[in-house]
Amino acid sequence: MITNTEIEKRGNQFPDKIVDFKRENDKIYFTTNNGVILEITILRDSMLRLRYATEYVFEPDFSYAISSDVSLGYNELSVADQSQEYIITTNKIKVHVNKGDLKVEITDLEGQVLLGDELGFHWEENFEFGGNVVKMSKISHSGESYYGMGDKASHTNLKGKRVNNWVTDTYAYGKDQEPLYKAIPFYIGLKDGISYGVFFDNSFSSYFDFASERRNVTSFWADGGEMNYYFFYGPKMAQVVEAYTDLTGVPELPPLWALGFHQSKWSYYPERQVKKIASTFRKLRIPCDAIYLDIDYMDGFRCFTWNKKHFPDPKRMVEELESDGFKVVTMIDPGIKIDRDYWVYRQAMEHGYFCRRADGPHFKGRVWPGDCKFPDFTNPKVREWWAGLYKEMIADMGVRGVWNDMNEPAIMEVPSKTANLDVRHDFDGHPCSHRKAHNVYGMQMVRATYEGIKKFTFPLRPFVLTRAAYSGTQRYSATWTGDNVATWEHLWLANVQMQRMCISGYSFVGSDIGGFAEQPNGELFARWIQLAIFHPFCRVHSSGDHGDQEPWSFGEEITGIVRKFIELRYQLLPYLYTMFHKYVKSGVPMLQSLVFYDQEDSQTHFRTDEFLFGEQLLVCPIQEPNAQGRRMYFPRGNWYNYWNDEKLEGGVERWVPADIDSIPLYVREGAMIPKYPVQQYVGEKEIGELYLDVYYKEGTEISLVYEDQQDGYDYKKGRYSLRRFRLKGKDNALIIQQFKDGNYITPYDRFILKLHGLPFTVAAVHLDNEPVDPQTVKLNGDNTIEVGKDFTELHLIGT
Ligand code: GLC
Per-residue pLDDT tens over the stretch 372-406? 999 999 999 999 999 999 999 999 999 999 999 99
Q: What is the mean pLDDT of residues 315-326?
A: 98
| DSSP type of residue 157 | S
Q: Give the bridge partners for 657, in sequence order.
A: 629
Percent of the chain at pLDDT > 90 equals 94
Q: Look at ligand 1, atom 5, and give the residue with the nearest C-alpha.
A: 266
C-beta separation of 655 from 630 below 8 A: yes
| Ligand 1 atom with minimal separation from the 482 CA | 8
- State in Å: Cα 510 to ligand 1 middle: 15
Indicate the pairing of strand 647-649 with strand 699-707. unpaired
| Ligand 1 atom with minimal separation from the 483 CA | 8
The three-class DSSP label of residue 637 is coil
| Ligand 1 atom with minimal separation from the 541 CA | 9
**Amino acid at the residue 694:** V
pLDDT at 75 over 80: no
pLDDT at residue 71 in the model: 79
Residue 7 confidence class, pLDDT cut points 50, 70, 90: very low
pTM comes to 0.97
Residues 745, 690: Cα–Cα separation, whole Å = 13
| DSSP type of residue 627 | -
* Mutational test site, ligand 1, from 294, 407, 518, 549, max ligand atoms within 8 Å of CB: 294
The three-class DSSP label of residue 382 is helix
pLDDT at residue 762 in the model: 87
**Amino acid at the residue 779:** L
The three-class DSSP label of residue 100 is coil
pLDDT at residue 438 in the model: 98
Q: Give the bridge partners for 327, in sequence order.
A: 290
| DSSP type of residue 523 | H
C-beta separation of 666 from 644 below 8 A: no
Indicate the pairing of strand 186-191 with strand 93-98. unpaired
Q: What is the mean pLDDT of residues 422-431?
A: 98
Q: What is the mean pLDDT of residues 669-691?
A: 97
**CA proximity to 572, closest of 533, 541, 600, 623:** 533
- State in Å: Cα 512 to ligand 1 middle: 10
Each residue's pLDDT tens digit, 638-649: 999 999 999 999
- State in Å: Cα 714 to ligand 1 middle: 35
236-240, 622-626, 760-764, 781-785: lowest mean pLDDT where? 781-785
Percent of the chain at pLDDT > 70 equals 98
Residue 545 confidence class, pLDDT cut points 50, 70, 90: confident
Non-local CB neighbours of 189 within 8 Å, separated by 6+ positions: 115, 144, 145, 146, 195, 196, 197, 198, 218
| DSSP type of residue 15 | -
pLDDT at 318 over 60: yes
pLDDT at 604 over 70: yes
Non-local CB neighbours of 202 within 8 Å, separated by 6+ positions: 134, 185, 222, 225, 226, 227, 228
Per-chain mean pLDDT for the chain: 96
pLDDT at residue 2 in the model: 38
The dihedral sign for the CA sequence 627, 633, 635, 640: positive
Residue 776 confidence class, pLDDT cut points 50, 70, 90: low
**CB burial readout 269-278, b (16+ within 10 A) else e:** bbbeebbebb
- State in Å: Cα 466 to ligand 1 middle: 11
pLDDT at 9 over 90: no
Residues 430, 528: Cα–Cα separation, whole Å = 44
Q: Look at ligand 1, atom 3, and give the residue with the nearest C-alpha.
A: 483
**CA proximity to 510, closest of 246, 154, 258, 178:** 258
pLDDT at 185 over 80: yes
| DSSP type of residue 533 | T
C-beta separation of 737 from 792 below 8 A: yes
7-21, 242-256, 462-476, 613-627: lowest mean pLDDT where? 7-21
**Amino acid at the residue 660:** I
Q: Look at ligand 1, atom 7, and give the residue with the nearest C-alpha.
A: 483
* Mutational test site, ligand 1, from 266, 303, 539, max ligand atoms within 8 Å of CB: 266
Each residue's pLDDT tens digit, 269-313: 999 999 999 999 999 999 999 999 999 999 999 999 999 999 999
- State in Å: Cα 468 to ligand 1 middle: 12
Rounded alpha-carbon distances, angstroms, from residue 494 to 408, 531, 613: 20, 9, 15
| Ligand 1 atom with minimal separation from the 267 CA | 10
Query: Residues with beta carbon inside 6 Å of ligand 1?
Result: 266, 294-295, 331, 405, 467, 482-483, 541
C-beta separation of 329 from 293 below 8 A: yes
**CA proximity to 21, closest of 86, 74, 76:** 86
pLDDT at 10 over 70: no
Residues 510, 512: Cα–Cα separation, whole Å = 7
Q: What is the mean pLDDT of residues 738-746?
A: 97
Residue 76 confidence class, pLDDT cut points 50, 70, 90: confident
Q: What is the mean pLDDT of residues 771-793?
A: 81
- State in Å: Cα 368 to ligand 1 middle: 10
C-beta separation of 48 from 40 below 8 A: yes
**Cβ-based burial of 422 (10 A; exposed 0-12, middle 13-18, buried ≥19):** middle
Concatenating the DSSP letter of every residue in 425-456 gives: E-TTTS-EEHHHHHHHHHHHHHHHHHHHHHHH
Residue 349 confidence class, pLDDT cut points 50, 70, 90: very high
C-beta separation of 465 from 477 below 8 A: yes
Residue 4 confidence class, pLDDT cut points 50, 70, 90: very low
Residues 622, 198: Cα–Cα separation, whole Å = 33
Rg of the Cα atoms in the chain:
27
pLDDT at residue 781 in the model: 64
Instruction: Return the active site residues.
Output: 405, 408, 483
* Mutational test site, ligand 1, from 302, 406, 537, max ligand atoms within 8 Å of CB: 406
Number of H helices, E strands in the chain: 13, 51
C-beta separation of 691 from 643 below 8 A: no
| Ligand 1 atom with minimal separation from the 266 CA | 10
